[in-house]
Amino acid sequence: MALYLVGTPIGNLKDITERARETLAQVDHIACEDTRRTLILLNALGIKKSLISYYKQKEKEGAEKILSLLKEGKHVALVSDAGMPVISDPGALLVRRAREEGVRVESVPGPTAVTTAAALAGVDQGFVFLGFLPEKESDRKKRLAPFIDSPIPLVFYAGPHDVKELIRYLYSLLGERKAYLARELTKLHEEVKEITLSADYSEEARGEYVIIVEGKEKENPLLSLTPEEHLEHYLSRGMDKKTAVKTVASERGVPKDDIYKLTIKN
């Protein structure tokens, strides 16, 4: 008996590994989030198997059902709708219970959206993966609190109906930062778009998103100056007034008009 954690394509069917194909063909049962989506994959691979519906709302009951099959000596594969199961998907409880019961748990790794997006965004020094944020405001703040001042990039998942609201929320909590929006990964219209959190993201949302937000930069020493001194710092170094006003306003996070008024006083 064994529980296999099988990675499946995140968009391009050609990304299925030979080992994943073999495992899905050999196990007795396949546990999955959405039997309809998994059936499409299996039909494309020419595989017919018994499917077990295993989703978040019934995770505890589903885990016990799968454990009973494993104890009978059956081999079960766990898959998500796309990518690696367990991470931001159902399965963590099942894995823990399987280990408690002495069931062998094996990985059959495959594509995952978070590392694919991080590579496309050029992230090379690590990141904090926070997945889908909770819906409740208090739970969101609690999840994000330890990382607000972190210099390490933060990575989130968001559905098409949540991405615009999430960007606005992150801006309200983290302030102005550069971010990358990745969508349609491995598909024909794969896209990674660079934005700032303050920008009004108005494009039509399609598919699941990976949002990578740059970490907090070290405190700008110029912010210890008064706004007047900050402005003079750039003007005295030959920067033209328009650019200096825009730069100071951006660095201090205030409207340009507030800084422009200082030039009128002078």
* CA 109 remoteness from chain centre: 18
Q: Which CATH superfamily is domain 2-111 in?
A: Tetrapyrrole methylase, N-terminal domain (3.40.1010.10)
pLDDT number for residue 200 = 72
What are 182-194's pLDDT values in tens digits? 999 999 999 999 9
Average pLDDT score, the chain: 93
Q: Which fold has domain 114-213?
A: 3.30.950
Q: Answer whether residue 220 shows pLDDT above 80.
A: no
- Which of 10, 33, 30, 7 is CA-nearest to residue 19? 7
Would you kindly state where each structural domain of the chain is located, as residue ranges?
A: 2-111, 114-213, 221-265
Rounded to whole angstroms, the Cα distance separating 20 from 26 reads 10
Neighbours of 25 (CB within 10 A): 14
Q: Answer whether residue 222 shows pLDDT above 90.
A: no
Q: Answer whether residue 81 shows pLDDT above 70.
A: yes
Q: 123 with 153: CB under 8 angstroms?
A: yes
- Which of 167, 210, 204 is CA-nearest to residue 10? 210
- Which of 142, 143, 139, 141 is CA-nearest to residue 129? 143
What are 111-169's pLDDT values in tens digits? 999 999 999 999 988 999 999 999 999 999 999 999 998 999 999 999 999 999 999 99
Rounded to whole angstroms, the Cα distance separating 157 from 212 reads 9
Q: 79 with 49: CB under 8 angstroms?
A: no
- Which of 49, 44, 7, 53 is CA-nearest to residue 28? 49
- Which pairs from 69-72 meet CB under 8 Å and 24+ separation? 69/28, 69/29, 70/1, 70/2, 70/3, 70/98, 70/101, 70/103, 71/1, 71/101, 71/103, 72/1
pLDDT level of residue 265 (50, 70, 90 thresholds)? low
